[in-house]
């Protein structure tokens, strides 16, 4: 189980279109700090029907979008 598993489950259960979360919200959901390892783990999100569309370092946000299925 990856350290972002709870985030993937949270996003996957939303069942809606684009979802934007702040780094702080992600940290609250996962209980771990946002770091560069997020880039390595983000491909796991595809199993939940979503993908990472955009990471904004300026705004400290991540935009999640549903995949085409």
Which of the four pLDDT bands, split at 50, 70 and 90, describes residue 16?
confident
Which of the four pLDDT bands, split at 50, 70 and 90, describes residue 69?
low
**What pLDDT does 29 receive?**
97
**What pLDDT does 38 receive?**
93
- Owning domain of residue 61: 5-66
**What pLDDT does 14 receive?**
86
- Say yes or no to pLDDT of 64 above 80: yes
Mean pLDDT of 26-37: 94
Structural domain count of the chain? 1
Percentages helix, strand, coil for the chain, rounded to the nearest 5?
45, 25, 30
């Amino acid at each position: 189980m990856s350290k972002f598993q709870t985030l993937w489950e949270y996003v996957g259960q939303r069942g809606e279109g684009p979802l934007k979360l702040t780094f702080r919200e992600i940290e609250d959901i996962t209980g771990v700090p946002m770091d560069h390892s997020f880039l390595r783990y983000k491909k796991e999100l595809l199993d939940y029907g979503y993908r990472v569309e955009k990471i904004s370092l300026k705004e400290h946000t991540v935009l999640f979008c549903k995949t085409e299925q």
